[in-house]
Structure 1
């Protein structure tokens, strides 16, 4: 991967050196220890985030300074956040190809890019805009310190989880939930759900707090692991339900479901019989016929498999909805493709329906319960 010229790095990273100390991280970090050394003179091997810092350096996602330091206690900046997100998505070459004369239509862009100043950074911002990582109505923070909530939103968008975040309306479990803007709670909830940006030791989220470079290396490490897992066939989803031919097993489950088409809907139907079904007795029954045990109700079935972002849904995944918009899962269906669901509904009983905006707007989450060995 290409690197930014030294003069550009200096312009980007020139911030006051911290009074280096090695206090324990305030975030709940539970990553596996993968790297046993560090290349930076101010990050000892036993530093709490040394593994993530070194791994992000080797992946060329988050670099240090020319003097051999990383400055782990310095705040990460707005621009550094954009650059690391673009690099995580392996889009840096595209950023380098952007014409520096391009206009960036965001508040604050005129000041940050005034008179050709910081033109080297335009490519990163332009790509971030194109990919939806930042929005045109957001302020160009440049070298200002980035806040935890804004970093969270950037990473959620980079991982294509924004739709799920925007459809998550309930309160978070953070102790300072009341301090999180209502429209942003979904981002915090989704980031926490996937283990990307978690709470502080006291259970708070602190949306307006700054995030240090050490903390940024940690959350970028987590985000990169998710991005790799969800995009690399060699790191496909795994669950406790393994099959030598998952696709064939899913086909059998769906064929069994089709055999019950036309069965009427009955709330609370016994999954031990096949004359009537409700949504979760239907999914429980057809998977059970192929040796896959599921909980009885939809709000528990969502815990039965591996969470799958909506963008990565595939045939046979279980998709869950909150049609009452009250924060409680009240429906489950089998995902067939981007246009079709197989499920038991009150109006049609067991049948195929279109995956319309009604369902998309009520989407809460999805799980995969069958995976190749």
Structure 2
């Protein structure tokens, strides 16, 4: 029994080992068997996050790879960060959208563009006229991988090619050096398709693509050509840009200039953010890590921010757009031309605008970042404004404040030689009135022409408030329409009280007045004084014991309510309902009172206040 049990245990253990071993080495995809020739490449690249399968758990190894798929797979070898991908997508948004690149491919294609693996014209060839993905050829994939692996310079140096394939004459001359580099690095097999042919124009399936991507991955991992670098600091003096590489010349503090190659592998940072070679401009201060063979491994720079204010002398609206500004510096006039940033903000006369809205001669304030304009705030050289005069200031020159129909307010000084017409008659600044309708012409923020028209009206009512200060005087009336309205009284206003010439200081509350108005200003006041009673019956509505003031509400015969202010002094007698003398503290809101006193036109000075009925 013991032997039998040992035998069973051994069989169970062997079975477990077999199952565990198979599970550990089983393919990640159900259509890729364990003994499939490309399984290790497929699984390896899947584990690295470079190649993925389909939602149904298959890999479909025999499906052809399209150009866009090959580009996306190749660029995943860069292991780009999310921020780098987003930056690239933003930079190349225009071509990605116009070429109708699907959302799931945009990140990879954008990185390929930023690294110089492809150019913008090549993006347009990724889809046919029916918007179907164009298959990738073997020679095209060799070109992509050579660039990703940083071996394009090696390919460019090849002169005498020694390709072993029978059909090497079918390989395009442009792609042949790249094919040979991939052959040298073991990415593609010297045996070709098994019959000695390479078939450069044929497609490559997903299994073969996994193999070449995997070999390229291993090469990059094992061949870090950038281990030995030195750091250089200086200023960029020139940049030569080509499709797949650029040459950046850096001048150090000793005046020595050296050009370094920047390619798809070069890491570029601008203001501590991932950037591309297109973001670098002349004049930037940079810190670069470079190799012995003068290749830039990384370039870090800080933006140059500048501000200019002057006159626009030229505008070019063709993409990417440019503006030439004439400005003064140290007493001298100078000109500079800048191109537009993709995210430029433009306003004209305080309203959102486009570059083509700006004209030569307009005033402009511009913000420039790395030789690109990021903001323009412009004022039209000549502009017309229609609206209503809200105020006329003197600083000491006259300044006109105008409100247009959109409630936008403008404030401009008036030129000493400005032409001014009011009601079609030649006039001066002093003839203008608040409330006048105006059409003004402004040149370089100064009014040069004013065409004003008078808006005349009349009103009448009882004075309810008078406000006089050093700067202005205002009068508030309850007009015949039972509306409370406030009017501005200019110094030159004509005022009559009881048909005699007077001033605003002789106007009193409750006087009945007739007004002649131009715009918002009163030009003439005809007031009638009224004989006020010296006694009132009313109800206490307000008590201020500290100021010895009370307010009473009086009802007229037509049941209109009127408020009267009563002042109390040490001579005022306050009597309760029994005729006993009391103080102001005996009064309460709601008490009915009879008041006898002297009225000065504004306040009634009480002699006697008699409480006729206490508040309930």
Higher helix share: 1
State the structure with more CA Rg. 2
TM-score (normalised: structure 2): 0.30
Which structure has more relative contact order (CA 8 Å, sep 6+)? It is 1
